[in-house]
Amino acid sequence: MSAVKRIAVLVSGGGTNLQALIDAQNRGELVNGEIAAVIASKPGAYALERAAKAGIPGYVVARKDYPNNQAMTTALVDKLKRLDIDLVVLAGFMVILTEAMVKAYPNAILNVHPALIPSFCGEGYYGLHVHEKALEYGVKVSGATVHFVSEECDGGPIVLQKAVEVRADDTPETLQRRIMEQAEWVILPQAVSLFCQGRLRAEGRTVHILP
Ligand code: GAR
């Protein structure tokens, strides 16, 4: 296998998906991968405390320090290159990155989205809003998707998906929690490990998982 892949996890908030990755790493389940950096878009993000507790270097590239998403993306790419990062993971990262990021890391950025893409995705669909929309629509099944990031918001090739039942008495909060526990925290570490082992091959929209 090739050299151990250096992973950067980009976060904006609580960082439970980051925690799932840290826990997977501690169990030896991020095969051929190492979380080398956590980068937050907000100075106070709790995810940074999780990183510190795990002994992982944490950095802040704050959206508010840049005039627009493009300028922030340029700064982020610069940071990632200086840290010699191979794989970028967006784990609850709430800034829409521009083309420069995708060009710098083609098929090497993974995002976790809390719905079954192409449902309930795209601009404006993030965090709790996704679950509010799913409940409003009345779906009986939702779930999570891990996909490669492309120029189109939530539109890149799908790596893994997992379905989760919607219950009659669900609130956005209870649905969010169930989708995190049963889907996001399971498929995100799996997808990261597959990438680090060189087992993901994108062909157009289809991602093949190699044995
Ligand atoms: C997660 O549910 C993640 O899928 C979602 O935000 C939450 C972050 O939680 N991401 C998006 O909606 C991106 N479009 P976390 O900080 O506890 O991992």
Rounded to the nearest angstrom, the distance between the alpha carbon of 16 and the centre of ligand 1 is 8
Query: Is 113 tagged catalytic?
Result: yes
Q: Band the pLDDT of 37: cuts 50, 70, 90.
A: very high
Beta bridge partners, 89, equal: 9, 110
| Cβ 17 under 6 angstroms from ligand 1 | yes
Q: What is the rounded average pLDDT of the residues 115-121?
A: 98
Cα(155)–Cα(199) distance, integer angstroms: 21
The DSSP code for 63 is G
**Beta strands 158-165; 141-148: pairing state:** antiparallel
| Residues 59-96: tens digit of each pLDDT | 999 999 999 999 999 999 999 999 999 999 999 999 98
Q: Which residues have a Cβ under 8 Å from the Cβ of 67 and sit 6 or more positions away?
A: none
Q: Whose CA is nearest to atom 8 of ligand 1?
A: 92
Q: What is the rounded average pLDDT of the residues 22-32?
A: 98
Cα(173)–Cα(131) distance, integer angstroms: 8
Q: 126 in helix, strand or coil?
A: coil
- Kindly state the tokens that stand for 3: 């050299």
| Cβ 157 under 6 angstroms from ligand 1 | no
| Residues 172-181: tens digit of each pLDDT | 999 999 999 9
